[in-house]
Amino acid sequence: MSLWVRLIIALGKLVSYISQSLHFGAGATWPGEIALMLRPNIASELIKNLKKGVILVAGTNGKTTTSLMIKQILEQQGLTIVHNASGANLLNGIVSVLIQKSQADWGVFEVDENSLPVVTEQLTTNNKQLMQVIVLLNLFRDQLDRYGEVDVIVEKWQKVLKTGSFVLNADDPAIAYLGKNLTHVTYFGVNDKKHFLKNVEHATDSTFCLNCGGRLTYEGIYYSHIGIWRCERCGFRRPKPDVFEVTSPLPGLYNQYNTLAAVAAVKALGIHNPDISDFMPAFGRQEEFEFDGKQVKIFLSKNPAGFNASLRTVLEQGANNLLLILNDRIPDGRDVSWIWDVDFEMISKNTKIFVSGDRVYDLALRLQYAEKKPIVISSVYEALSKSETLYILPTYSAMLDVRNTLLGRKIL
């Protein structure tokens, strides 16, 4: 490691210390941002300190939970891990954690969908000596103002995903399509027809075959466009999953997928039957805590598919009090038209619905069209005062605000 890189690492650690000391945040991105300005390829240099390899986890939903689960499984094997636990999943966030700790066996990083090409280039393409595992979970419409439609992301990924071991969701047609020309692929998926939806959700994204353009047909849909599918025109169909049976430590079908992905990822490393029974969820992802004698449960919900999955899970748990928070800040995306694709109609009339956030009136209007009676509030405390157990479904920046308000903890 050159003297210049060592100086940049020292500067990055100083920036992180100052950021935390002055309460500007947790120092999760600025050290990496400054390091990249001084040396644009520093990630490819820092990653060389890893002894075994790097695991990248990408997809619209489930990145944080899946990467954390992989990290915990590897730690059970006595391995040391560097991991972007804060959820800072752009290149600057990954560089920031490598500045803090680059001496480890494995790097396990969740990666923003749009950033996967540049992260892949720096962390894997330029480091052939490291084992590379890339886990692709799903693709849904998310922040259309930033990313565009699903096929735009698929095209970007297809150009850079060439070498390494891949763990792919067989039940997502877009993800499975990426595996067509890859050599080392482990597929995961659900083989349980009792989870098929009776009605197709509004948020259905991949209905056409990326191989030929024909319309896909489904034996059954688990949620959104995830299910057992095939194309009648060209014969392209769902690959047979290599990993399809696990017991998830978290409720909800989408967590079944996260668990399958984590188990499939470590299987690619030669680890079989890992113990995940004591897994604790990441911040904001089915996080539970007590505040002033009240139970609080947070389910991050940042796009139509994720929001529908969260709603289905909390309603199955018997939720009577919901707080829905809609923001439109940079981490959330400015375009909030996606709320019209959320199936709020599934909420029962007896459920009390509080709404808040920067775009509270957009959300309230959508709920009124769903024939619900939202209660507009300005503070989470108002909802807590009227609830014994409060289920909070926030967008990303709203989740950070809620945690900071109730727990006094900043993540980024």
Give the Cα separation of 74 and 266 in Å (integer). 8
Q: Is 335 a catalytic residue?
A: yes
Which whole-number Å values give the CA distances from 128 to 1, 3, 114, 122, 123, in the listed order?
18, 24, 23, 11, 10
Helices (H), 79-132: 91-100, 116-120
Contact 347, 311 (CB under 8 A): yes
Give the Cα separation of 28 and 302 in Å (integer). 21
Question: What pLDDT is recorded for position 24?
Answer: 67
Which whole-number Å values give the CA distances from 7 to 3, 39, 104, 333, in the listed order?
6, 11, 20, 36
Residue ranges for the known binding site are 209, 212, 231, 234
Mean pLDDT of 112-133: 82
Contact 236, 209 (CB under 8 A): yes
Give the Cα separation of 249 and 64 in Å (integer). 15
Phi first, then psi: give them for residue 376, nearest 5 degrees: -80, 125
Give the Cα separation of 98 and 94 in Å (integer). 6
- DSSP E strand stretches across 269-329: 285-291, 294-299, 321-325
> pTM of the prediction?
0.88
For residue 128, pLDDT over 80 is answered with no
Mean pLDDT of 358-370: 97
Per residue in 59-115, pLDDT (tens digit) is 999 999 999 999 999 999 999 999 999 888 999 999 999 999 989 999 999 999 999
Q: Which among 335, 341, 343, 362 is annotated as catalytic?
A: 335
Question: What pLDDT is recorded for position 23?
Answer: 67
Q: Is the dihedral of CA 27, 33, 39, 44 positive or negative?
A: positive
Give the Cα separation of 71 and 410 in Å (integer). 22
Contact 143, 63 (CB under 8 A): no
Residue ranges for the known binding site for Zn(2+) are 209, 212, 231, 234
> Residues 5-30, buried b or exposed e (16+ Cβ, 10 A)?
eeebbeebeebbeebeeeeebbbbbb
Per residue in 276-295, pLDDT (tens digit) is 988 888 776 788 999 999 99
Tokens of 101: 């700790």
Mean pLDDT of the chain: 90
CA dihedral of 4, 6, 8, 9, whole degrees rounded to 10 = 170
CATH numbers and ranges of domains, the chain:
3-267 (3.40.1190.10), 285-407 (3.90.190.20)
Q: Tokens 């399809």 sit at which residue? A: 244
